[in-house]
Structure 1
């Protein structure tokens, strides 16, 4: 099928019969997308030029000729698409968007079209139309009706949650790769787009692997040969995991998450199901440079084993986990966010009392900063300043967050009028800082705080428990948590972690290398 899709003059993708007013949506996507293409919107889809497009859509310079061209198109998009939100949701829920094998159908064709009923839309125009629409939404140019405002906002959010977006990203990057103007997507990134960013599914579980090989730019290097003879499917996933590690994609381990839906998988091998959660590095992977490098400039060192289910790899032991807090999820009530911050503060105090701070940090001031660095994994983002390691100014956001969460637990009516007004003034003044800090905490959803025996602090996987080991594998950007077997010769993989004080390669000069056998 790869050669058929690649060599075909035109690929027509059948989405199904017309329903839920899909004709109107298809016509709108074609019209808005084509007008955006005529304005050369694709030329802005680079890391360097995308901010320019955002300025144009925000109309920051109304006298700019390009901005003047875009504003009528945005007004048209709002007028047409705001009445098609239900249609967007229904279109997005079509089964075609959930199947693994159809990803190559749209990614490999030179000029594919979607056919829905009797209406067609050129596939490459859809991202342009959606980019214009998203720009309208972000600029709040979509008027919220006076009645049913909450329901409308929920519908608006649901309409923007598009299954097609990861698929379109794969296609665009492959097109650029074939033009020689981009790296394309290797197998690791195709897997992420399909199962972490998206929710692709396959009838046969092994097709989660085989159905994407044709799209990957490094497929030949991986040496994965489809096998439909072997009855069990888990060997396919083990082979894929070994291939990814062999080409340096150790970060694949972050997607070995539990519980798995394929029997017989070793603890370190991802099952690539469609419910995987992002790594906490997700938002920072597009930064101009590597923001964290726990293993420094080291490369992966693999150790041969007799068992294909065992990963032999070199690394360093940070320490053994002594204490853990509760698992935290961003969608829980604010009381749980406040409890997490209080737990980390307590662990910081206990760690300082151990007296090992001088071995972990360069100075005492840095040890005290763990209180506000750990809850955000020492990674920060704001609209004004892009991806970065937080400076001391973030402490103010942390304090605002603590204060706002504390104030929300109070009964304002119980205070005298003057004191109540002061509390309210403080509350509203600190909301922006609280929002920034809370948003940066959210990437650690599903993790729990921990402290090791020597006083290392961090956030580990939800399954972590006392006795587990925090390690840094050579070639990895972040630490991981392993669980030693009874005799200490083997380990089980538990999950990814953040560990304060080791994220810049500090342990390379403090620890001896050791071999981990992970089953």
Structure 2
């Protein structure tokens, strides 16, 4: 009897196995220039997706659309629908099986099963509904989808398909962007896009920087009023993961047309493009940060669905702006190619990697491979090394990033690449030489080259002598001038619970300077310690002007006054009531601004007299109700982008003042390297070689001054 029962169970399981579709097995593509296209079988039963895969030579393929989407969870972490891993799960990244990256949802392809991610399943259901309802999301019979049309387990096929992906997107009739389902923020975001994109470009110049806070602004622009909640919705919208995917840059840049689909909302890319262009033109992106908007009274009183967002550090996400800029650049080069014999150049690979460094990818190698198809192959590195950087998923991330660094160094013949090495605290890929950028992580803050038209040339005409063979072994031979040893560094904002301590450390460093800052050129105007301090803190650049105009000095004095008011009043108040019995901040950390100003030499415009005059004006205007510190917003912005929490002030023992990487330590060395436009902080290792700590701004040695000091040109090795 027991034997018979076992036989019956086996028979039943065998029948189930026959009824269940087998796992789909990919047939090899006919050639390296072939592609697979997916054909959906329209069905009113949206629970099961039925489709078929067919192979074509790309040049002979029927009309098709391409799908752009994110493999993982598509919503922002501020959404209620975001999968939490704890009671405060929105603050953390979800586990892989929760994030949506795991393939667990079956579709039926040619009678067999393929597992897809949750977001791809939703995208396929969207396409299926569109076909059944004959909506115009797609008019094509076929669609190309990377996860289904490429055998992801076949490395040789992945290599070939990635190498040809640019041609695939060029051939597509259009790109359908699936941003995921709607959330609590979508309606507000769409309202912003619809209203702002309707404003004629001729009107943009009349919109002021501070008009963002004026209720009558929209009436003047003849569009419906947009609330702060609308703008918060837009911030959440452009922070969806899709905008930060590395591959979407190519997918959007090469699209003949792009249609964005978010749940039931459908709109063309051009609407979003115009919205982003308006925000850039008006510089409203400075205001579109939660760190600023959380202080708006209306949002403090009733944050609604945006409570989580407002407690975060979210901003307009420049990712979306850079994405649109690259699309515009590629489109312009294509139009000019049709109009003239002289083709407008596409972006170089270096520009693409620098611009889209923020982007993310599951496979760290895709932070390079995703941009190869967009890059101009007539310029470096391909002009000198035409066979370099071919997609190869057998190569490790370390090998690829080293290959990229070598290609740039050899083809450009200078050391500009070193400015794109991330701070050591951010490095994620292990065993990378210190001079090789880790492209898997973003770069904070922006390299000094992006501070405006500064034309820095710290090494003057001194050329770098290459040793190509040593680069292959992870060693970079460099030459340069050692300028000094760092003996003081400032405290960063997140390194102390006392809000006054970072500024107190800057004041202490400034006290270590002479009355007038050392200058290497006799014709240079002498700068007092206060002036060299504020110029160094903003890398002598203001609103992209270099050198910073002198009126920034008065702004800095006003800034000091505001700091003092804030720091002095902080311990004397609370959220409950005014409490004058609290003790003032410790004198050991409180910035001695008054003493610093009093130490200014006779004739300095930054002495106590200016400070006292401005203090009287500020207090008087406060009592009148006419004082507004909005004029300091640009100065604060310059402080933030010049360093923020990732670049600290330092002084060398021979009294050079500069700002360097967050990881800068006392004892590190200041160098001007041959072939590098800016100075660098290097760390001497016991083995006798050096590590790159990061680039530096050092006042008075940014324009070749080091080459005129009579210093000995030294050689060292970077590992």
TM-score (norm 2): 0.57
Matching residue of 2:369: 210
Q: Deviations over 1:446-502 (max 9, x none)?
A: 2233222322221222222233221122332211111122243x2111111111220
Matched, 1:10 2:10: no
Matched, 1:450 2:650: yes
Q: Deviations over 1:248-276 (max 9, x none)?
A: 37333233222311111001111123442
Matching residue of 1:48: none
Matched, 1:264 2:431: yes
Which residue of 514, 523, 526 maps to 1:365? 526
Matched, 1:236 2:400: yes
Q: Distance in 1 between matches of 2:297 and 2:355?
A: 35
Deviation at 1:5?
Answer: 0.7
Deviation at 1:380?
Answer: 2.5
Matching residue of 1:463: 663
Matching residue of 1:173: 329
* Distance 1:410-1:201 versus aligned 2 partners, 3 A rule: closer
Matching residue of 1:516: 716
* Distance 1:392-1:83 versus aligned 2 partners, 3 A rule: closer
> Which structure has the bigger radius of gyration?
2
Mean alpha-carbon deviation: is it higher for 439-448 or for 98-107? 439-448
Matching residue of 1:65: none
* Distance 1:472-1:358 versus aligned 2 partners, 3 A rule: closer
| 1:320–1:469 contact (8 Å) kept in structure 2 | yes
Matching residue of 1:278: 445
| 2:519–2:700 contact (8 Å) kept in structure 1 | no
Matched, 1:56 2:206: yes
* 1:327-476 map, 5 Å: 327-328=492-493, 334-349=499-514, 357=518, 365-366=526-527, 368=529, 369-381=531-543, 386-410=544-568, 422=616, 425=619, 431=629, 437-442=635-640, 443-445=642-644, 446-476=646-676
Unaligned runs of 5+ in 1: 42-51, 61-69
Matching residue of 1:320: 485
| 1:478–1:497 contact (8 Å) kept in structure 2 | yes
Unaligned runs of 5+ in 2: 1-164, 211-216, 288-292, 337-342, 573-579, 582-612
| 2:416–2:675 contact (8 Å) kept in structure 1 | no
Matching residue of 1:44: none
* Distance 1:423-1:190 versus aligned 2 partners, 3 A rule: same
| 1:27–1:119 contact (8 Å) kept in structure 2 | no
Structure 1 residue matching 2:545: 3-state secondary structure? coil
Which residue of 389, 392, 409 maps to 1:245? 409
Q: Deviations over 1:132-172 (max 9, x none)?
A: 467789499x9x88575684898699574464222112211
How many residue pairs end up in the alignment?
A: 472
* Distance 1:439-1:344 versus aligned 2 partners, 3 A rule: farther
Deviation at 1:377?
Answer: 2.2
Deviation at 1:277?
Answer: 0.6
Q: Distance in 2 between matches of 1:438 and 1:20?
A: 32
Structure 2 residue matching 1:179: 3-state secondary structure? helix
Matching residue of 1:479: 679
- The structure with the largest helix share of the pair is 1
Q: Distance in 1 between matches of 2:693 and 2:488?
A: 16
Q: Distance in 1 between matches of 2:410 and 2:568?
A: 55
Matching residue of 2:466: 302
| 1:401–1:430 contact (8 Å) kept in structure 2 | no
| 1:357–1:367 contact (8 Å) kept in structure 2 | no
| 2:189–2:231 contact (8 Å) kept in structure 1 | no
* Distance 1:425-1:158 versus aligned 2 partners, 3 A rule: same
Matching residue of 1:49: none
| 2:418–2:694 contact (8 Å) kept in structure 1 | yes
Q: Distance in 2 between matches of 1:26 and 1:409?
A: 41
* Distance 1:408-1:224 versus aligned 2 partners, 3 A rule: same
| 1:400–1:433 contact (8 Å) kept in structure 2 | no
Q: Distance in 2 between matches of 1:404 and 1:24?
A: 35
Matching residue of 1:106: 252
TM-score (norm 1): 0.76
Matching residue of 1:495: 694
| 2:559–2:632 contact (8 Å) kept in structure 1 | yes
* Distance 1:340-1:291 versus aligned 2 partners, 3 A rule: farther
Q: Distance in 2 between matches of 1:133 and 1:304?
A: 45
